[in-house]
Amino acid sequence: MLIQVPEVLTAEQVKRFRAMLDSTDWVDGKVTAGYQSAQVKDNMQLSETNPVAIEIGKEILTALNRNPVFVSAALPKKIFPPLFNRYTGGQSFGNHVDNSVRRINSTGEYVRTDLSMTLFFSEPDEYDGGELVIEDTYGSKSVKLPAGDAILYPSTSLHHVRPVTRGARVCSFFWMQSMVRSDDQRSLLLSLDVAIQKLNRDGPDHESVVELTGVYHNLLRQWVEL
């Protein structure tokens, strides 16, 4: 299930964060790559201890917790602190699957990576190439979103970033452990939640709203892991 999460950040936030990102120090992106990923990874990243990364990361998490699309789709239990990458001058990231477990260095806590997210800080017309290509159940999906928007996808997906041949592609990326491990179950819950919200708008007094809401929560109660 690939979910576009629009307007995670406001235009003002994107502008402010981008200025901070452009003025700080970047390091080789291989610092956070596993053995297999390091063979195909060519980009720059911010260190996890970089004050800019920490500050912007906290604001991203605050914005996500207020975003109903994200909360409904991800049902997040733990979120790995956002990381940041930049691709320029032909840099790319070849086919890979994200590590199954990530350790938060600052706390020692482990996060099972059920879902991956990429949040864009560059507008599509600022750079050529740089599409995030995700192997979905129905084939390859090419993703290049407006600044401030994000894509949410299963961490089990094979994916890559095409070479950036002009400009700079600046993004945040991170992972989360969902309260519901199965992607199929999360997809079903999201579809049901969206249908309930639509029915609630179109006919708020309809008795089916209460019935379907009960079904949603009973399924969630059955599948959730706390």
Do 192 and 166 share a domain, yes or no? no
- Looking at residue 29, its pLDDT comes to 80
108: left (phi over 0), alpha (psi -120 to 50) or beta: left
Neighbours of 143 (CB within 10 A): 19
Predicted TM-score (pTM) of the model is: 0.93
- Helices 207-223, 183-202: axis angle to 10 degrees equals 160
Do 102 and 162 share a domain, yes or no? yes
Q: Which domain holds residue 215?
A: 183-223
Do 44 and 134 share a domain, yes or no? yes
Q: Cα separation of 70 and 7, whole Å?
A: 11
Do 40 and 96 share a domain, yes or no? yes
Tokens of 53: 């990364």
Do 215 and 173 share a domain, yes or no? no
CA distances from 109 to 83, 104, 112, 113 (A): 16, 5, 10, 13
Which residues, given as ranges, of the chain have pLDDT below 70?
Answer: 32-38
Dihedrals phi, psi of 76, to nearest 5 degrees: -70, 140
- Looking at residue 205, its pLDDT comes to 77
Q: What is the CATH number of the domain that holds 198?
A: 4.10.860
- Looking at residue 26, its pLDDT comes to 96
**DSSP-derived secondary structure letter, 49:** T
Dihedrals phi, psi of 147, to nearest 5 degrees: -60, 135
Do 122 and 187 share a domain, yes or no? no
Do 41 and 64 share a domain, yes or no? yes
Q: Cα separation of 150 and 147, whole Å?
A: 8
Q: CA dihedral in degrees (37, 41, 43, 49; nearest 10)?
A: 20
- Looking at residue 201, its pLDDT comes to 87
Please report, in angstroms and rounded to a whole number, the separation of the first and last CA atoms in the chain.
Answer: 22
- Looking at residue 32, its pLDDT comes to 67
Do 71 and 159 share a domain, yes or no? yes
Among 83, 84, 63, 65, which Cα is nearest to 74's? 65
Do 100 and 189 share a domain, yes or no? no
Q: Cα separation of 75 and 189, whole Å?
A: 10
Do 116 and 26 share a domain, yes or no? yes
Q: Using DSSP bridges, classify how beta strands 76-79 and 169-178 pair: parallel, antiparallel or unpaired.
A: antiparallel
Q: What is the CATH number of the domain that holds 160?
A: 2.60.120.620
Do 216 and 140 share a domain, yes or no? no
Do 169 and 192 share a domain, yes or no? no
- How many domains does the chain divide into? 2
- Looking at residue 40, its pLDDT comes to 86
